[in-house]
């Protein structure tokens, strides 16, 4: 399951911790360090409860980076393999499809474009299945069709990641990177 482009180590795991949601001692805390080519060392943190299924994850870069916006156009199936680092402070915008806003429920992760698109697809499927209005279900079905076309390589999609902490990146020569105003801790 390892990625050839990322060095891996065994995660440090602390089991039996009190869960902040259900208060049972079934929370596991995990920390993992990875070296992501062209970005640097990142720390992956997560909390997962086996009782209530609470999960929270985040990514933090070892080096401080400037607040940044990455823009990437998915134009082929090969683009689905492009590496993405997203911190919990980042906003992900996929115009005409979805936005992932930062906040207490936002997770950080290291994935690829396909993984990000599949996360969005799951959210849209949940909306489709829970929508009461027929028009909302139809909109969700059309979005899923668009997402499937992108995953098959027959439709283009733009991804924008803005991160005031600088802990996010789209790692590709095709990605446009610009500095934005935001916080940078010294």
**Which residues make beta-bridge pairs with 171?**
83
| 5 pLDDT tier (thresholds 50, 70, 90) | very low
Predicted pLDDT at 40: 79
User: What is the pTM for the complete model shown?
Assistant: 0.79
Among the CATH numbers 3.20.10.10, 1.10.10.10, 3.40.50.300, 2.60.120.1040, which is that of 12-179?
A: 2.60.120.1040
Q: Distance from CA of residue 18 to its chain's centroid?
A: 26
CA–CA separation, 159 and 169 (whole Å): 11
**Which residues make beta-bridge pairs with 48?**
28, 55
DSSP H or E run through 4: none
- Structure confidence by residue, pLDDT tens digits, 109-167: 889 999 999 999 999 999 999 989 999 999 999 999 999 999 999 999 999 999 998 88
The CA distances from residue 98 to 35, 71, 116, 169, in Å, are 29, 15, 11, 19
- Structure confidence by residue, pLDDT tens digits, 54-104: 999 888 888 888 899 999 999 999 999 999 999 989 999 999 898 888 877
Greatest distance between any 2 Cα atoms in the chain? 51
Give the chain's count of helices (H) and strands (E). Answer: 2, 12
Q: What is the mean pLDDT of residues 167-176?
A: 95
**Is 98 buried (19+), middle (13-18) or exposed (0-12) by CB count in 10 A?**
middle
| 3 pLDDT tier (thresholds 50, 70, 90) | very low
CA–CA separation, 39 and 169 (whole Å): 8
Please check the confidence at residue 105 and state whether its pLDDT lies above 90.
Answer: no
Token pair, residue 91, equals 């906003």
């Amino acid at each position: 399951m390892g990625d050839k482009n990322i060095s891996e180590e065994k995660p440090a795991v602390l089991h039996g911790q009190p869960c902040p949601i259900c208060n049972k001692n079934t929370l596991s805390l995990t920390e993992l360090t990875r070296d992501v080519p062209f970005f640097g060392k990142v720390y992956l943190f997560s909390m997962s409860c086996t009782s209530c299924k609470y999960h929270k994850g985040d990514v933090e870069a070892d080096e401080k980076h400037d607040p940044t916006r990455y823009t990437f156009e998915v134009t082929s199936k090969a683009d689905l393999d492009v590496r993405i680092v997203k911190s919990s402070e980042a906003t992900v915008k996929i115009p005409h499809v979805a936005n992932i806003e930062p906040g207490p429920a936002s997770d950080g992760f290291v994935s690829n474009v396909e993984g990000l698109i599949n996360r969005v697809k799951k959210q849209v499927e949940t909306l489709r299945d829970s929508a009461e209005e027929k028009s909302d279900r139809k909109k969700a079905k059309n979005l899923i069709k668009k997402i499937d076309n992108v995953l098959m390589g027959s439709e283009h999609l733009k991804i924008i990641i803005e991160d005031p902490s600088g802990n996010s990146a789209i790692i590709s020569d095709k990605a446009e990177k610009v500095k934005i105003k935001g916080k940078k801790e010294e």
